[in-house]
Structure 1
Amino acid sequence: MAKEGGIGGAIWETVKTIFWALLIAGVFRTVFYQPFWIPSGSMKDTLLIGDFLFVNKMAYGYSYASCPTIRLARFGIEVDAKDICGFLDGDNTRFLGRQPTRGDVVVFRHPATGQDYIKRLVGMPGDTVQMKDSVLYINGEPVKLEDGGTFVETYERQGPEGRPPRCENGAVGPGADCLKSRQIETLPGGVSHDILNIGTYRNSDETGVFHVPEGQYFMMGDNRDNSLDSRFAPAAGGVGFVPFENLIGRADRIMFSSAGRSMLFFWTWRSDRFFKGIT
């Protein structure tokens, strides 16, 4: 009997340990930092496919979007943030809320699909935003642009999704250099960052004037010709304006980076990007 009791006690202790570990991890993920893996090239060259970072959830305070969304399609598990914290949704406010800063790299919930996205905040509430001849205009004034040289990457399938990059130098073969024009863009307020272009596209580089509503933000990818962002309505595959309550947090630093199809392929690790600050 003592032996059976000992086994039962050990099992119960293991269950309690797992429970508390999951609870602590859940609280940490909800309140402090959320891991985020870059799946696409929309933020090149600031963020590359395979960069791994932690999102600072304390930066803007908390809303329903701060709760985790758990999607494990293989096991039929889909728990949305609204299922956990839906009681906080609907008023576009935040607990301990702080306004983001123009130029922040922000992770947010897509207003229509609820998927997590990462883009740069370029338009604040009350701003007007427009693209003219590939140049960003904010409140009627063009942003400052400087030549940033040429961004070069290898034409190959990238990341878990296996998508090849788009190139300014046309169709190139596997293993060839894929080129993009790079400029240094300085936003009002002084934040400077790289942007990439591969040409002029009517829908992304020539737009009408967007009037950013109060309580919402205008997001764009740094890889300007490869980003479905606030320039496009959700019905067109974009994100439209992003409400304050949909912000999850600010991306401050890359912790780890891998250029391969799996993070286990250590020979594809980009050690020069480990612990790199995001600007």
Structure 2
Amino acid sequence: MVIMVILQTFIGRVYLIPSASMEPTLHGCQGCTGDRIAVEKVSYYLSDPEPGDVVVFEGTDSWDVGFESHRSQNPVIRGLQTVGSYVGLVAPDENNLVKRIIAQGGQTVSCQEGDPAVMVDGKPTDQSFILQPPTYPVDPATGSEACGGPYFGPVTVPEGHYFMMGDNRTNSLDSRYHLGDEHQGTIPEENIKGKVQAIILPLSRIGSVDDPDIQA
């Protein structure tokens, strides 16, 4: 247990994907076998997170609305669930989320009528990795498929913060849905737990997770 705590604190951790918000990059859904992902911290000791990275982070207060613990009240079972979360057999009992970084501190992100994609500093971002066709239809009166749902922004990301979006754009409660909070929906760098490097289970989905330069 001591070794596991040290590894999780300084090196990395295995997480279970519980939802479909990052399809098709990461697979997860209610009642199915979600991907187990390897998340490491070492990269961010040497450099800052960048747009295009897929990261696990702790949600701020506005992201915690509706979060419920799924741990058993039985202390023995709860202990087993906690141990299971260390190796990715059970989702952590924390409001940890996984999304892709779209913009960083000082940049302005938006998507308005006529935009060909989510825009950062007035330039379209790469969206080749998002789920197509979208999970849910988009009302053309209020949004577009290029925006992944309703129009939003412009939002200038505070320094030291990151704007997050899910690859399953129409099925992701990401930074767009928290724009009214004190961080304008963005996530402070200190809340980032690590970078998703690979899918390690199930065997049929083993592989690395791409981090394209989406602003190139």
- The interval holding the TM-score normalised by the smaller chain is 0.5 to 0.7
Q: In structure 2, which of residues 161, 186, 195 is the aligned counterpart of residue 216 of structure 1?
A: 161
Amino acid at match of 1:129: V
> What is the CA distance between 1:207 and its match in structure 2?
1.1
Q: Is the 8 A contact 1:111 1:242 kept in 2?
A: yes
Distance between the aligned counterparts of 1:34 and 1:57, measured in 2?
9
Q: Which has the higher strand share?
A: 1
Which residue of the other structure, out of 251, 254, 266, is the alignment partner of 2:199? 254
Aligned ranges 1:191-206 → 2 under 5 Å? 193-196=129-132, 197=134, 198-201=136-139, 202=142, 204-206=149-151
What is the one-letter code of the residue matched to 1:127?
Q
Equivalent residues in 2 for 1:90-239 (5 A)?
A: 98-112=47-61, 113=64, 115-133=95-113, 135-144=117-126, 184=128, 193-196=129-132, 197=134, 198-201=136-139, 202=142, 204-233=149-178
CA distance in 1: counterparts of 2:173 and 2:124, whole angstroms: 21
* 1:34 equivalent in alignment to 2:13: yes
Q: Distance in 2 between matches of 1:38 and 1:117?
A: 9
User: Matches of 1:200 and 1:241 in 2, distance apart?
Assistant: 23
8 Å CA contact 1:135–1:205 kept in 2: the answer is: no
CA contact (8 A) 1:124 1:212 kept: yes
Contact 2:21 2:166 in 1 (8 A): yes
Segments of 5+ residues of structure 2 without an aligned counterpart are 29-33, 65-93, 144-148, 211-216
Contact 2:130-2:169 within 8 A present in 1 as well: no
Q: Which residue of 2 aligns with 1:272?
A: 204
CA distance in 2, matches of 1:235, 1:213: 14
CA radius of gyration, larger in: 1
Higher relative contact order (CA 8 A, sep 6+): 2
- Return the letter of the residue paired with 1:103: G
Distance 1:234 1:38, change over 3 A: farther
The one-letter code matched in structure 2 to 1:194 is I
In structure 1, what is the Cα distance between the partners aligned to 2:23 and 2:50? 20
Local SS of the residue matching 2:176: coil
Q: Which residue of 2 aligns with 1:245?
A: 190
TM-score by length of 1: 0.53
Q: Please say if 1:52 is aligned against 2:31.
A: no
In 2, the alpha carbon distance for the partners of 1:144 and 1:215 equals 23
